[in-house]
Structure 1
Amino acid sequence: MSQAFEHLDPSTLQQWLGEQRPLQLVDIRDPLSFAQGHIPGSRHLDNTSVAELVEKTPSDMPLVVVCYHGHSSQQAAAWLAGQGFGEVYSLDGGFVDWAHRHPDHVLKP
C-alpha cells in the first residue's frame, strides 16, 4: 500500500502561497511554539481541535501539515489522509527549516 500523503518541499510551498493556491496549513507544534511564530494562514492543530478540522474542512481541500522538523507531521499527515482527505502533504524540514529559509514568511506576535 502506498503512503496516503506526499512530501512537500519548502520552495514548492512558497510558490503555492505566492500563487494563493487554496490550501489549509495545519501546525501540530505545541501551542507556545505556534504562538511565538508560524507560517501565515496556519491553524494550530491539537487533540482538541482536530475533530473540528475533520468535520468542517472539505475533503478536497489540500492540507499541509507542519511540525518542528518534518518528522511527526508525516504521522499526522498519514492519519489525516486516513480520515478521507484526498490531498495531504507533510512539509519537509518542518517549521524550523521554513523559518530559516523564509524568515519573511513567519508570522510573529
Structure 2
Amino acid sequence: MSFKHLDTDTLADWLRSEKLVTVVDIRDPVSFADAHVVGATHLDNVSLTHFLENAPTQQPLVVVCYHGHSSQGAAGWLAEQGFSDVYSLDGGFTEWQQRHSDWVSQ
C-alpha cells in the first residue's frame, strides 16, 4: 500500500462539498494550536494510538505538515497501518494557509 499526492485546491473542493475525509496535522502542537485546516486532528506520538484504534480506515485520509515533505513519510506509514486511501497534502499547511485562508481554524 502506498499514499498519493493531493493538491490544496482538491482538498478545498472536498471540504466545500462536505466529502467525508479525515485530515490529520503532524506539525508541532503549538503550530497546530495557532492555526490548522478546519476539522483537522492533531496527530503526534501521544494521540497516535487512539487515532489508529478509532479512525475510519476506508475514508480518505489527508496528512498535513508544514511544506508537504514530512507528511509523505507519515502518509506512507499510515497506509501500511491499513488506511486504504491516504494522501500527502502537497505544499503543506503553508500553501493551504496562503490559498485557502477561509478554511483555517485558529
User: What TM-score, normalized by structure 2, do the two folds share?
Assistant: 0.97
Structure 1 match to 2:70:
72
Superposed CA RMSD: 0.9
Point out the more displaced range, 25-34 or 46-55: 46-55
Q: Percent identity?
A: 57
Structure 2 match to 1:93:
91
Q: For 1:1-109, what aligned pairs fall within 5 Å after superposition?
A: 4-108=2-106
> SS of the residue aligned with 2:75?
helix
> SS of the residue aligned with 1:22?
coil
Q: Which runs of 5+ in 2 are unaligned?
A: none
Q: What count of residue pairs does the alignment treat as equivalent?
A: 106
Q: CA deviation at 1:65?
A: 0.2
> SS of the residue aligned with 1:81?
helix
Alignment-mate amino acid for residue 28 of structure 2: D
- State the alpha-carbon separation in 1 of the partners of residues 79 and 13 from structure 2: 23
Q: CA deviation at 1:32?
A: 0.2
- State the alpha-carbon separation in 2 of the partners of residues 5 and 34 from structure 1: 23
Q: CA deviation at 1:62?
A: 1.2
Q: Per-residue CA shift, 1:2-30, capped at 9, x if unaligned?
A: x6000000010010001100011000000
User: What TM-score, normalized by structure 1, do the two folds share?
Assistant: 0.94
Q: Per-residue CA shift, 1:39-84, capped at 9, x if unaligned?
A: 1100000011111111111210211000000000000000000000
Q: Which runs of 5+ in 1 are unaligned?
A: none
Extract structure 1 runs of 4+ deviating beyond 4 A.
none
